[in-house]
């Protein structure tokens, strides 16, 4: 579930509010969005992908809430890690280009 909107990183663009498929966030004037309906989060990670400044963190647990520490997440490189993996963001190339599904399917009998 979505667990973090980083106060320090957020630029208040509200893209996450707009693109969340299940409407989890609420916009707040002059402040980062709030996680208004956390239990509606379907843990699809789309908000992380669309956040231009890696200010969001979706914990892998989809049915229970967990506590997260922003400094630790940043330290181990988990803030924005999915966006990096699929090659979205400034000066990155989409990793769809290097999709290796054909290698996998060759091994399937």
User: Using CB under 8 A as the criterion, which residues of the chain lie in contact with other proteins when the complex forms?
Assistant: 17-23, 40, 42-46, 49-50, 59-64, 78, 81-82, 85-86, 88, 93-105, 107-108
Q: Is 20 strand, coil or helix? A: coil
Least CB distance from residue 70 to other proteins, whole Å?
14
Q: Is the dihedral of CA 42, 45, 46, 48 positive or negative?
A: positive
CB of 53 to other proteins, least distance (A): 18
Where do we find the tokens 């707009």? 18
Min CB(25)–other proteins separation in Å = 10
Q: Evaluate whether 86 touches 45 at the Cβ level (below 8 Å).
A: no
């Amino acid at each position: 579930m979505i667990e973090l909107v980083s106060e320090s990183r957020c630029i208040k663009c509200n893209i996450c509010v707009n693109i969340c498929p299940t409407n989890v966030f609420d916009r707040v004037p002059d402040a980062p969005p709030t996680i208004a309906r956390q239990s509606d989060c379907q843990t699809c990670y789309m908000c992380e992908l669309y956040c231009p400044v890696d200010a969001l963190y979706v914990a892998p647990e989809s049915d229970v809430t967990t506590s997260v520490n922003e400094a630790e997440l940043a330290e181990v490189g988990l803030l924005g890690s999915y966006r990096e993996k699929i090659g979205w963001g400034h000066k990155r190339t989409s990793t769809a280009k290097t999709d290796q599904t054909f290698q996998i399917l060759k091994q399937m009998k």
